[in-house]
Structure 1
Amino acid sequence: MPSVERYLALATCVLALGGLTTACSSDQPEQKGPVGPVPQGLDRFYGQALDWGECEPYATSEMARSSFGAEGLECARLTVPLDYDEPDGPEIELGLLRHRATGDDRIGSLVVNPGGPGASGMLSAASMAGPTADTEIGQRFDLVGFDPRGVGASEPALECLTDNERDADRADDVEYDGSRQGVRATEEEERRFAAKCAERTEHGEDMLAHLGTRDVVQDMDVLRSVLGDRKLNYVGYSYGTRIGYTYAERFPRNVRSLVLDGALDPEQDSVESLVSQGEGFGKSFEEFAAWCQERSGCPLTGDPTKAYQDLVRPLLDDPVDVGGRVLSYDDATTGTIQALYSERMWPQLKSGLAELSQGSGSTLMALADMYNERDSSGNYANTQDAFVAIRCVDDPPVEDREKIRDAQRRYAEVAPFLDPGTRPSAARDACAFWPVDSTSEPHLPDVDGVPPALVVSTTNDPATPYRAGVQLAKALDGRLLTFEGNQHTVFLQGNQCVDGAGARYLIDGTLPQEGKRCG
């Protein structure tokens, strides 16, 4: 079975919405803070001016370059302390992107985070700006995305693997070897990865120690003040829900509204999250297979799980050449899961599997590249590096080999299409070799005094199971909005029922009725 690290990474939610529009940028630095309470010693951060300007210089990827040039977008850098316990020590900068409210009756800023951990909030906001510009939300709120510390355009950026090393890592399926030799080889790779992150990232271990959610929510409170908002309005997707409820726990009096879509279960450790996620992908594969079998040319004939395994398992020993690269088993399954995030990608997955049955891996490789954020020039965003680094500092490592092995077995039971047919591996992931301690652990958030949150959960969400949203809404004393569908997250993606309920909540605080469902 794949390592815990590999398939926890599949919870990454990177929104790619189209249709960007309109614009302006400031000629002079803009100072709106400090607003609201300011922690001792942080006055200069909470009151800093932002120098908004063109966004193209902030682009660190091919997708960002194509998105950041749209009219109506402006970007700036926010300065924050590397270590909030030492505000006079080293400083770092976060990349910000904003699309101003298009109406006259502005409420404030709406901060968004797309999840990951490690996904770019700037890119997410850029993608959402056009589709929301003429909606109630776009008219009443400035849409603001930020790249969390170490991510994307934020400086310094986390650096672990080079582009060539990432290609090589994807082509190597050693983590599926559960023998003693395979476990040793896998753990040696994980150990080297952790060491490279510390060696190649500016500020080294100090930076790694302060990449986690604990520090990100403090950055977000600085951002709230600098934007001129007494209280925070926030939309978080997937891992972004953890940022949201952690912010509410840390700054309960600074919250106006929270929309949390595709929730993580706050009590689950990484092993239980792996198994829960497997359930989601297992159900999504069943839905896809049923859809596929109703259409001509579907390669999943007979038992779809066995048909899929017969297609991808041979790649463990005999990967397929794709223009000088090779489609590994890991790439094929990653490409499959990328497509399972949304029904809109099912036709592409069907084509990719049909191609693989004929010995071609081009489409599945393209899907895997999309997930890994590898552009046409072979350059990677640092999302995957950041995912590992943030997770390792957020939660204690899983050291119990039998627990790891048992999780692999259980994963194969709930997502049998992803069972490689090899001995489950007990290899520990990079977090077991992380050079700094973790800063938090799974727990129910204590959010007394926080306004009720709106939690959106999708019945067949492959990456964050529906029941996690149910549990989070209860923990936050919030309101659950159910979407009946097959995709990962839904708010502000064109569903009028969900978007309308979210807009009413964000604009005037009206929660949807108890038990409301959208389809």
Structure 2
Amino acid sequence: MALAALLAGCTSGGEGSERTSRPDAQSRGPAGPVPQGLERFYRQSLSWGDCADFATTERATLAFNGPDIECGRLTVPLDYDEPDGTEITLGVVRRRAGNQDERIGSLIMNPGGPGVAGMPAAASLSQKIAGTALGERFDFVGFDPRGIGASEPQIRCLTDSERDAERADDDETDNSPDGIAGQEADARAFARKCQQRTEHGEAMLANLGTRMVARDMDVLRSVLGDEKLTYLGYSYGTRLGSVYAETYPGNVRAMVLDGAIAPSKNQEEQLIAQAAGFQRAFEQFVDWCVQREDCALGADPSTATQRFQELVRPLIEQPVPAGDGRELSYDDATTATAQALYSRDLWTALNSGLDELTQGQGTSLMRLADYYNERGPDGNYSTTQDAHTAIRCVDAPAVTDRQEILRAERRYEEVAPFLDDGKPDGAALGPCAYWPVPHTLEPHLPDARGLPPVLVVSTTNDPATPYQAGVRLADALGGGLLTFDGTRHTAFLQGNECVNGAATDYLVNLELPPEGKRCT
């Protein structure tokens, strides 16, 4: 689960230039270092124009309707070790700096995931910063990483009907021998479908990981005319930023990394740490809820977890109606809860959904689960969940030790009792154990000697990315740490003026906040 987006360059048109549907070809690069053999990619021109053809979801269509939004395509090699081989394209979006005379460059942004499209996130966020120092001094740029969103080809694994069926089937709670066999058959089938249904198949899956996306970012930096990268990464975007910093430390101007994923933990350790974070957020939600007369979990915080389990566990055997002929499963109910715990803004919706569940209805919770899974009103899904799994499988070694999986499941339930399904634990292997290509990254602390000071933002009660992960990342990169005391996932440009001011000052003036700086 995760979030974020960013861009740079000089424009030929002044402030207030009209946006047209005819592509506006611009060549600002190459700027900065150009690796040998990749000159034609670094020297390409981008053609900017209308974004209608780049919208792959309803969210993207709405985001691209904002003023002054332009889109284009960047061409990169599928395999950087074979630059004369197959080429792929990335979708890129920008909103030009409001003050072109004092423009610093591009601010390139990634919203997280992995698997989340960056173009809609950047287009939406660019409207929020219009007229601010960031909006005036930077072109704000987002891109859909390779295989995602408007980038071509897309990672494709499950059809819309297969995704609906997967969500409706709570087979992961069945850890009998037959249940384990069924889960592993599904995992094998998922890996096979990803290979068969994705254009370029195995080659695309092999070159999908974060290392390749970091190289794409360097091409984008140069083509946009920036000698050095200015970057904003949220959640998984912090990993992308740290991999870029390791690969190109001399090409970095500034980085804000918000909501850090612990770089040295394996996937099981990360999931356990995330579960503990969601438990803390759930307890914060309970403290808020029990003050209300309509709290669906009652008035006693000591019994709230039990009450939550009493509401959602029966869904394993008996899902409830959720509108349009659909039924709310246990998986959907817990996904909806996790989605709401990302931000206090969704707590009222979560309480309403749980109250609705007491009446045998699941429409509101299904709406939250659909939002997380990016299912549109027409029943169509984005490819985010497919890409999320594919990238995770190539970014880290698969866990194949069943005893390790079993220990992790037990630990998960210990640190997040509200997510304990009450069923016996199992040790089914996941899709990554059957992935057709090897992984390309190992858990490690980044080593980016020569990197200029970067800024890490970490939230004390972040449900998805633990606070200490940000502390460790700042230390590993030799950067500054900005602490936000709150309960939400990520903080920069999310409404807190203290965080916004400190991080903006850093991006514009390259001045880190004072050591120990905290915002509330």
TM-score by length of 2: 0.96
**SS in structure 2 opposite 1:29?**
strand
- On the 8 A contact 1:341/1:462 being kept in 2, the answer is yes
Q: Percent identity?
A: 60
Deviation at 1:22, TM superposition (A): 9.9
Deviation at 1:213, TM superposition (A): 0.2
Q: Match of 1:314?
A: 314
Q: Match of 2:203?
A: 206
Cα deviations by residue, 1:286-309 (Å, 9 ceiling, x for unpaired): 000110110011121240000000
Distance change in 2, residues 1:23/1:469 (3 Å): farther
Cα deviations by residue, 1:414-461 (Å, 9 ceiling, x for unpaired): 110000000112011100000000011111111100011100000000
- On the 8 A contact 2:228/2:253 being kept in 1, the answer is yes
Cα distance in 2 for residues equivalent to 1:126 and 1:305: 39
Q: Match of 1:364?
A: 365
Q: Match of 1:95?
A: 91
Q: Match of 2:19?
A: 24
Q: Match of 2:250?
A: 253
**SS in structure 2 opposite 1:159?**
coil
Q: Match of 1:13?
A: 3
Q: Match of 1:136?
A: 133
Deviation at 1:23, TM superposition (A): 6.6
**SS in structure 1 opposite 2:327?**
strand
Cα distance in 2 for residues equivalent to 1:94 and 1:244: 18
Counting only pairs closer than 5 Å after superposition, residues 415-454 of structure 1 correspond to structure 2 as 415-454=416-455
Cα distance in 2 for residues equivalent to 1:28 and 1:497: 38
Cα distance in 2 for residues equivalent to 1:127 and 1:501: 22
**SS in structure 1 opposite 2:25?**
coil
Distance change in 2, residues 1:213/1:165 (3 Å): same
Q: Match of 2:223?
A: 226
Deviation at 1:376, TM superposition (A): 0.3
Cα distance in 1 for residues equivalent to 2:65 and 2:137: 23
Deviation at 1:13, TM superposition (A): 2.1
- On the 8 A contact 1:102/1:138 being kept in 2, the answer is yes
Counting only pairs closer than 5 Å after superposition, residues 308-387 of structure 1 correspond to structure 2 as 308-323=308-323, 324-387=325-388
Q: Match of 1:114?
A: 111
Deviation at 1:508, TM superposition (A): 1.1
Cα distance in 1 for residues equivalent to 2:256 and 2:266: 23
Deviates more, 1:27-36 or 1:473-482: 27-36
Deviation at 1:515, TM superposition (A): 0.4
Residue 82 of structure 2 corresponds to residue 77 of structure 1: no
Q: Aligned AA for 2:461?
A: N
Cα distance in 1 for residues equivalent to 2:356 and 2:19: 46
Counting only pairs closer than 5 Å after superposition, residues 385-404 of structure 1 correspond to structure 2 as 385-404=386-405
Cα distance in 2 for residues equivalent to 1:85 and 1:156: 19
**SS in structure 2 opposite 1:150?**
coil
Distance change in 2, residues 1:391/1:27 (3 Å): closer
- On the 8 A contact 1:22/1:71 being kept in 2, the answer is no
Cα deviations by residue, 1:195-229 (Å, 9 ceiling, x for unpaired): 00000000000000000001000000000000000
Distance change in 2, residues 1:185/1:27 (3 Å): closer
**SS in structure 1 opposite 2:482?**
strand
Deviation at 1:129, TM superposition (A): 1.0
Residue 235 of structure 2 corresponds to residue 238 of structure 1: yes
Deviates more, 1:158-167 or 1:28-37: 28-37
- On the 8 A contact 2:234/2:490 being kept in 1, the answer is yes
Cα distance in 1 for residues equivalent to 2:174 and 2:405: 14
Residue 168 of structure 2 corresponds to residue 171 of structure 1: yes
Cα distance in 2 for residues equivalent to 1:27 and 1:298: 54
Cα deviations by residue, 1:306-363 (Å, 9 ceiling, x for unpaired): 0000000000000112221110000000000000000000000000000001101001
Q: Aligned AA for 2:315?
A: L
Deviation at 1:24, TM superposition (A): 3.0
Cα deviations by residue, 1:154-202 (Å, 9 ceiling, x for unpaired): 0001110000000000001111112221111111101100000000000
Q: Match of 2:482?
A: 481
Cα distance in 2 for residues equivalent to 1:333 and 1:81: 40
- On the 8 A contact 2:349/2:364 being kept in 1, the answer is yes
CA RMSD in angstroms, aligned pairs only = 1.2
Cα deviations by residue, 1:249-272 (Å, 9 ceiling, x for unpaired): 000110000100000111000000
Cα distance in 1 for residues equivalent to 2:119 and 2:368: 22
- The unaligned stretches of length 5 or more in structure 1 are 1-9, 16-20
Q: Aligned AA for 2:285?
A: F
> Number of residue pairs matched?
504
Residue 455 of structure 2 corresponds to residue 458 of structure 1: no
Deviates more, 1:216-225 or 1:174-183: 174-183
Q: Match of 1:53?
A: 49
Cα distance in 2 for residues equivalent to 1:22 and 1:310: 59
Q: Match of 2:60?
A: 64
Cα distance in 1 for residues equivalent to 2:24 and 2:116: 30
Q: Match of 2:214?
A: 217
- On the 8 A contact 2:336/2:365 being kept in 1, the answer is yes
Cα deviations by residue, 1:96-133 (Å, 9 ceiling, x for unpaired): 00000001300000000000001111011111011101
Cα deviations by residue, 1:368-389 (Å, 9 ceiling, x for unpaired): 0000000100010100000000
Q: Aligned AA for 1:315?
A: L
Q: Match of 2:281?
A: 284
Cα distance in 2 for residues equivalent to 1:116 and 1:374: 16
TM-score by length of 1: 0.96
Cα distance in 2 for residues equivalent to 1:83 and 1:244: 20
- On the 8 A contact 2:4/2:233 being kept in 1, the answer is no
Cα distance in 2 for residues equivalent to 1:119 and 1:292: 31
- On the 8 A contact 1:23/1:74 being kept in 2, the answer is no
- On the 8 A contact 2:235/2:258 being kept in 1, the answer is yes
Cα deviations by residue, 1:19-73 (Å, 9 ceiling, x for unpaired): xx99735753100111111111100000100000001110000111111122110
Cα distance in 2 for residues equivalent to 1:14 and 1:383: 14
Cα distance in 2 for residues equivalent to 1:153 and 1:376: 20
Runs of 4+ in 1 over 4 A off after TM superposition: none
Cα distance in 1 for residues equivalent to 2:126 and 2:24: 23
